[in-house]
Amino acid sequence: MKDSQRPPVLAHRRFDADRHSFENLSLRDRFIRIHATNLWGAESSVSGLGSERHAAAAPSKTLPALLQSWAVQRLLDAPCGDAQWITDLALPCHYIGIDIVPEIIAQLQSRRSSANRQFLVADITSTTLPDADAILCRDCLVHLSYSNISRAIENFCRSNARYLLTTTFTQWEENRDIEDGDWRPLNFKGPPFEWPEPAAILNEGCTEAGGAYADKCIGVWLLDDIRQVPLRRR
């Protein structure tokens, strides 16, 4: 399906209708507002449709085995949102969830923390990241402007992680910039990113918008490969 034939998703339509409310807000305050108003419109998750359990059914099945096969001992979920789908899983590693919204983290710390699971307030674009073998950045960069995507990727590359798992749309043809908090698909193999082939692709079986975004995947890249991409391309 051509880009122009894909219908707009709920997250974009709702942000567009409330765009004036985000004028002059910082990145943190934008996401605090999105959380407080459930702006993206999911019934069971303030983190959007992709964070609902049924929408994450495919990665829920494949992620634990993938992490085990790559001997991942510490997974950083950056950002974790309300983490409802991933904290249901029996992960073969220590889990660290971070998010820019303090209220989300406070709730997770009180309800979901355990000896093998911790939650911290952090901004993926600027905070020094906890040590981890792999970074999961699902359903986030699609909501960020190019400038903040660049900051986040640079921050990931400064970390000690080896792998980056992030949302990519494999058939999307033309990436574009947006305002932070809005939504659009991204294909990280296309410009301005031009990342190499991922080490693995996990198709999410996305049914949103009548299956128009069925190419939604989690791409797995070696951060060493991303570090080699010239900065001008990001």
Residue 96, domain CATH: 3.40.50.150
Residue 230: the pLDDT is: 65
Quote the number of domains for the chain. Answer: 1
Residue 233: the pLDDT is: 44
Query: Do 129 and 155 contact (CB within 8 A), yes or no?
Result: yes
CB atoms < 10 A from the CB of 46, how many?
Answer: 21
**pLDDT-flagged residues of the chain (< 70):** 230-234
Encode burial over 124-161: b for 16+ CB neighbours within 10 A, e otherwise.
bbeeebbebbbbbbbbbbbbbbbebbbbbbebbeebeb
Least Cα distance to 154 among 233, 100, 215 occurs for: 233
Which residue segment(s) compose the domain that 156 sits in? 3-233
Structure-block tokens of residue 175: 């990436």
Instruction: Give first-to-last CA distance, the chain, whole Å.
Output: 26
Query: Do 167 and 194 contact (CB within 8 A), yes or no?
Result: no
Residue 182: the pLDDT is: 98
CB neighbour list of residue 200: distance below 8 Å, 6 or more residues apart: 66, 219, 220
State the greatest distance between any 2 C-alpha atoms of the chain, in Å, as a whole number.
47
CB atoms < 10 A from the CB of 82, how many?
Answer: 23
Q: How far apart are CA 75 and CA 124, in angstroms?
A: 14
